[in-house]
Amino acid sequence: MPGSSESSSSSRQFSDTPSPRRLLSSSKVYEGRIWDVVSDAFELAEDSGTLVRDYIDHPGAVAVLPMNDDGDILLLKQYRHPVGMDLWEIPAGLLDIEGEDFVVGAARELAEEADLQAGEWNVLADFFNSPGSSSEAIRIYLARGLSDVPEAERHLRTDEEAEIELAWVSLDDAVAAVLEGRLHNPSAVVGILAAAAARARGFSGLRPGNAPWPAHPSQR
């Protein structure tokens, strides 16, 4: 059969794993406001020769797919200058508060960007945004049991966030937008497709919001 091989199996478990290599040197070549660029020299194996790779040293981020009782999801439109586009996204933000629990950071972003709080948290997906050039790890949560943040406690949005527009859409419409190439934000794309897959399984098997995240650089 096409694509079959002796080593393939429908029951085979695939998992990314840490792979320590010999680090010969590491230096910071650019110090930025939020992230730095570092240059590492390392060996893949003993006496295999030296490789040098420059990459963004990133604190990581969390993103939240809010879902209401009708199964609709919340998207927000925000301007992103590097690509010069207004993108439909999901609430997200940097893990730039040292020692903050991941799910606490996600709840903070949900409140700041969408004026919402959630009573039920699950992990939808973990991924590396651009593993060839950045250490950024992103965790996407599914937030349900939603309620409004009291008006007196709402975050004052400034700069690009001041232009945020919010829209509730059906999950099916969001999936169609992804497959038709109309959505481009990686957290939104991954979160929407993961939520659709989770819904097909009745949302069973989702990890709890406080599930370990061993792939995040701070946990290794």
> What pLDDT score does 12 carry?
66
Mean pLDDT of all residues in 207-216? 95
Which strands sit side by side in the sheet containing 50-57, from one edge to the other? 22-31, 36-43, 50-57
pLDDT digits (tens, 9 = 90+) for 142-179: 999 999 999 998 888 888 888 899 999 999 999 999 99
Mean pLDDT of all residues in 6-14? 61
2: confidence class by pLDDT, cuts 50, 70, 90: low
Q: Are 149 and 117 in contact, with CB atoms under 8 Å apart?
A: yes
Task: Tell me the percentage of the chain whose pLDDT exceeds 90.
Answer: 80
Model's pTM, two decimal places? 0.90
11: confidence class by pLDDT, cuts 50, 70, 90: low
In the predicted structure, residue 41 carries a pLDDT above the cut 60: yes
Task: Tell me the percentage of the chain whose pLDDT exceeds 70.
Answer: 95
> What pLDDT score does 4 carry?
52
- For residue 193, give the nearest of 91, 144, 125, 113 by alpha carbon: 125
Burial class (CB in 10 A: 0-12, 13-18, 19+), 105: buried
Active-site hit among 89, 112, 120, 161? 161
pLDDT digits (tens, 9 = 90+) for 118-139: 999 999 999 999 999 999 999 9
> What pLDDT score does 53 carry?
96
In the predicted structure, residue 5 carries a pLDDT above the cut 80: no
DSSP letter at 138 equals: E
Long-range contacts at 145-151 (CB < 8 A, ≥ 24 apart): 145/118, 145/119, 145/120, 146/66, 146/67, 146/68, 146/116, 146/117, 146/118, 146/119, 147/116, 147/117, 147/118, 147/119, 148/115, 148/116, 148/117, 149/111, 149/115, 149/116, 149/117
Terminal Cα distance for the chain, rounded: 40
More confident call, 35 vs 183: 183
- For residue 107, give the nearest of 4, 218, 210 by alpha carbon: 210
Mean pLDDT of the chain: 93
Find the angle CA(148)-CA(212)-CA(90) to the nearest 5 degrees: 35
In the predicted structure, residue 10 carries a pLDDT above the cut 60: no
pLDDT digits (tens, 9 = 90+) for 72-122: 999 999 999 999 999 999 999 999 888 899 999 999 999 999 999 999 999
> What pLDDT score does 133 carry?
96
In the predicted structure, residue 9 carries a pLDDT above the cut 70: no
Taking the C-alpha atoms of residue 110 and residue 92, their distance in angstroms, rounded to an integer, is: 7
> Tokens 């840490």 identify what position?
18
Known active-site residue 6:
no
